[in-house]
């Protein structure tokens, strides 16, 4: 039996890193709307061209675009037995759309996780984030220094186009205004909301998340 999870939290809190670890642990795909959008941008598809301005400005892309991406992923073979949603839903309209998609498929959510960290830490994590152009590795200048090649494959490390300081400030305010209300939305839902401290090493945070899920399972 697979599990169905949402991991929520502000930009830079570590959703991608932790989502990847959890997805691997549970043998489920991580469905990241951010990754899907970056893939479309890179491939230069029509969808990519349509959302580029929003993405580059740190604004949300239209709800119907991400709902379409998620619906498509739900109907693929990969997600048949479970999934972890990362970076989706981000608005109340997306959460309502998700509820419809789940109801239509007669499935429910097992847990909604909320990763938390102070704003100063978020800015620091995002501004130092570097990604490998070739293999997709995500790392931080704290780990690799400022001008080094990718430790995994030797290609060059670059800053994500929406990780520049001006854009980051906008992403954080978009989060506060449009996404934070979802915490209350899920807290009062049947599934409930589980908050987890996102400070510390990736391993420490992962262990906290796993412990939380284990307890949720025992309680449910
Ligand atoms: P982060 O969580 O660090 O902000 P993501 O990769 O999740 O990074 O998102 C990057 C950008 O992709 C967002 O700023 C937005 O433009 C777009 N995006 C991703 N997911 C969604 C979504 N569910 N709804 C609208 N826009 C999205
Ligand atoms: Zn690499």
**Digit-coded pLDDT (tens) for 61-110:** 999 999 999 999 999 999 989 999 999 999 999 999 999 999 999 999 99
**Distance from Cα 127 to the centre of ligand 2, integer Å:** 19
pLDDT tier at 219 (50, 70, 90 boundaries)? low
Whether ligand 1 lies within 6 angstroms of the CB of 58 is answered as yes
For ligand 1, atom 15, name the residue with the nearest CA.
60
Rounded (10°) angle between helices 119-127 and 165-174: 140
C-beta separation of 77 from 29 below 8 A: no
Whether ligand 1 lies within 6 angstroms of the CB of 194 is answered as no
41, 47, 61, best to mutate for ligand 1 pocket (most atoms within 8 Å of CB) = 61
**Distance from Cα 31 to the centre of ligand 2, integer Å:** 21
Q: Please provide the DSSP assignment of 184-205 as one string.
A: HHHHTSSS--EEEE--S-HHHH
Strand ranges in the chain using DSSP code E only, listed in sequence order: 4-8, 30-32, 83-86, 111-116, 129-132, 138-140, 157-158, 194-197
pLDDT tier at 1 (50, 70, 90 boundaries)? low
Residue pointed to by tokens 């949720």: 216
pLDDT tier at 165 (50, 70, 90 boundaries)? confident
pLDDT above 80 for 216: no
Whether ligand 1 lies within 6 angstroms of the CB of 172 is answered as no
pTM (global) more than 0.85: yes
pLDDT above 70 for 218: no
Whether ligand 1 lies within 6 angstroms of the CB of 11 is answered as yes
Average pLDDT over residues 9-36: 96
Question: Any idea which architecture 4-117+180-219 has in CATH?
Answer: 3-Layer(aba) Sandwich (3.40)
pLDDT at 2: 80
For ligand 1, atom 4, name the residue with the nearest CA.
11
């Amino acid at each position: 039996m697979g599990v169905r999870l949402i991991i929520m939290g502000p930009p830079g809190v570590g959703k991608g890193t932790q989502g990847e670890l959890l997805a691997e642990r549970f043998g489920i795909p991580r469905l990241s709307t951010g990754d899907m959008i970056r893939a479309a941008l890179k491939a230069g598809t029509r969808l990519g061209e349509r959302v580029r301005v929003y993405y580059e400005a740190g604004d949300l892309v239209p709800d119907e675009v991400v709902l379409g991406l998620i619906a498509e992923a739900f109907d693929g073979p990969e997600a048949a037995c479970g999934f972890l949603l990362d970076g989706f839903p981000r608005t109340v309209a997306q959460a309502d759309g998700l509820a419809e998609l789940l109801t239509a498929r007669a499935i429910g959510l097992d847990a909604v996780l909320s990763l938390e960290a102070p704003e100063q830490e978020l800015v620091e994590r995002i501004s130092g984030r570097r990604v490998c152009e070739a293999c997709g590795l995500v790392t931080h200048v704290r780990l690799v220094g400022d001008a080094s090649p990718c430790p995994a494959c030797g290609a060059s490390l670059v800053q994500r186009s929406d990780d520049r300081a001006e854009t980051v400030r906008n992403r954080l305010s978009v989060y506060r205004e449009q996404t934070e209300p979802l915490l209350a939305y899920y807290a009062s839902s049947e599934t409930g909301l589980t908050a987890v401290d996102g400070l510390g090493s990736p391993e420490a945070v992962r262990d906290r998340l796993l412990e939380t899920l284990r307890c949720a399972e025992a309680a449910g």
